[in-house]
Amino acid sequence: MTIAAGSKVITFIHTRDRERSKAFYRDVLGFSVTAEDPFGTAIDLNGIRLRITPIEDHTPHPHTVLGWQVPDIDAAIDALAAKGVKMIIYPGFGQDEKGIWTSPDGKAKLSFFHDPDGNGLSLTQS
């Protein structure tokens, strides 16, 4: 048996402020808190467990660490904007005014934003 056979995925996000991150993933992104212990908070990302782990001196990675495939990227961005989330527009990347980059073949659209700790998150429509 390999690890992949029958094993569930758990992903991790580090934070300097556990309560602020928990509120963001729960209240802004709409996911449920499933457990808490002295070492972190578990969030259900539609069947994938996210562990929010406090690290006092956490510095976010400069690249995307977590993303979601969405059916309508415009609607998802509008919903996030209504909750105060700002999409990231990278100079020279060719995104539109909403922060959406469209692949050259027009089949995929991507946009980027940060959680409260600056962890890079993304939306993809394909």
Domains of the chain: 8-57 (3.10.180.10), 60-126 (3.10.180.10)
Question: What's the CA gap between 87 and 100, in Å, rounded?
Answer: 9
pLDDT digits (tens, 9 = 90+) for 29-42: 999 999 999 999 99
Q: Supply the pTM of this predicted model.
A: 0.91
Q: How confident is the model at residue 1 (pLDDT cuts 50, 70, 90)?
A: low
Helix ranges (H only) for the chain are 18-23, 73-82
Using DSSP's 3-state secondary structure scheme, residue 26 falls into: helix
How much of the chain exceeds pLDDT 70, in percent?
Answer: 98
For the chain, the average pLDDT equals: 95
Sole residue written with tokens 């980027």: 112
